[in-house]
Amino acid sequence: MDRTRMTPSWRKPAGMLLILLLIAIWCVLIVSLSATVGGWHWLLQLVFYIVTGIVWITPLKPLLRWMETGRWR
């Protein structure tokens, strides 16, 4: 077995920290909008929180690819 393949990469811990940072920033952003969103009709709030709950995942694909391969594309 190739020993270089078994050596852990620094990209994985760095990527995990970036993911946690992304989640924290996204949460702060969405919570800061809660006063405005709280005044909306409950159905609009539902749509907003479903969409924002899914959208934060979008930047994870390139980040996970970078963690595995070292390339963004």
The model's pLDDT over 13-60, given as tens digits with 9 standing for 90+, comes to 999 999 999 999 999 999 999 999 999 999 999 999 999 999 989 888
Give CA–CA dist 21/15, Å, rounded: 10
pTM to 2 decimal places: 0.73
Residue-level length of the chain: 73
- The values of phi and psi at residue 38, to 5°, are -60, -20
Give CA–CA dist 61/71, Å, rounded: 12
Q: What is the mean pLDDT of residues 5-12?
A: 76
Confidence of residue 70 (pLDDT cuts 50, 70, 90): confident
Write down the domain spans for the chain. 14-63
Amino acid at 22: L
pLDDT reading at 71 higher than 60: yes
pLDDT reading at 4 higher than 60: no
